[in-house]
Structure 1
Amino acid sequence: MSTPPRPRMTGIGRVLVIVYAIMALAATGRSFVQIVQRFDEAPLAYTLSAVSAVVYIVATLALVFAGRRGWYLVAWVAIVFELVGVLVVGTLSLAVPELFAHDSVWSWFGRGYVFVPLVLPFLGLWWLVTHRPAASVPVTAAAEARS
């Protein structure tokens, strides 16, 4: 008899999804206000805020549904994109600060969000590695393994 799959959204997994959802809301709100009120002042920074909002929304949904077909891969892509974005934008904001006259979610490695954008993708990747979806084993193969 096979063991039932362990639930994905318990404990730290649930906290991780909640933090991603909060970041999605915060980045969406920030980018909306920035784009509506002052887009002409810093189009690059404000566009990057909107991109980060989309990434956080996709990552949140992908983590929630990561046990379903295809969503696990979407979670990987979104979180790796997030990590690369934070590292590239954070590095550029230090090296070429005139590109980011106004802060974006990922500028200065997420300083405006207490560096949560820098830490979050590492936690997300750790979660994905430690909570891979169970591979489906055909019934006949499982029966043969027991005999």
Structure 2
Amino acid sequence: MSTHSSEAEDRGASTPTQPSRPVRSARSRGVGSLLVVVYGILALAATGRSVFQIIDRFDEAPLAFSLSALSAVVYILATVALVARGAFWQRVAFVTITFELVGVLVVGAISVLAPEMLGLTSVDPFGRQSTVWSAFGAGYLLIPLVLPVLGLWWLRVQGRRAAR
């Protein structure tokens, strides 16, 4: 019986253990963290706006206010998908942000060209009946129009980095 410890024990004993730190997604650093913050802010803003509009004046423009609620759900899901790791959430982020871009373009165009189709009596992006996506998000400084383009670009860049 040897008084020396085994070679494996020696290696284990001589190798200092480093405290484990949570591994963060590349989407939660740098530009990714900025996107998460902006999506989170829009999620809160769209949720608050749609809840208030639905409770206070749903009968004025039910379709428009329902679209505001839909945009809130989209922003919440996009925020979660950008924070979460894994291929599944990467796909959820891509689908959600693509849906957002299509929504902003379609609702924005209809709200400007034929607002009555949405039940709107005004094109004013800051008006009583405006929604998050009305006039391409002009009431939110066009952030709803620009954000999905940046989000899709960011997802593409991250996808290329992951493929390397």
**Could you list the runs of 4 or more consecutive aligned residues of structure 1 that deviate by over 4 angstroms after TM superposition?**
none
Structure 1: tracts of 5 or more residues without a match: 136-147
2:44 is the counterpart of 1:25: yes
Which of the two has higher C-alpha Rg? 2
Amino acid at match of 1:18: V
Normalised by the size of structure 1, how large is the TM-score?
A: 0.84
Q: Percent identity?
A: 61
The answer to whether the Cα contact below 8 Å between 2:25 and 2:83 also exists between their aligned partners in 1 is no
* CA distance in structure 1 between the aligned counterparts of 2:80 and 2:96, rounded to whole angstroms: 10
Q: State the partner residue of 2:93.
A: 75
* CA distance in structure 1 between the aligned counterparts of 2:147 and 2:104, rounded to whole angstroms: 10
Shift of residue 7, structure 1, vs aligned partner: 3.2
Report the 3-state secondary structure (helix = DSSP H, G, I; strand = E; otherwise coil) of the residue aligned with 1:70.
helix
* CA distance in structure 2 between the aligned counterparts of 1:8 and 1:40, rounded to whole angstroms: 40
Structure 2 counterpart of 1:113, from 140, 153, 160: 140
Structure 2: tracts of 5 or more residues without a match: 1-23, 122-128
Deviations 1:92-146 (A, max 9, x none): 01110223332111010001101000000000001100012735xxxxxxxxxxx
Q: State the partner residue of 1:96.
A: 114
Shift of residue 6, structure 1, vs aligned partner: 7.5
Q: State the partner residue of 2:26.
A: 7
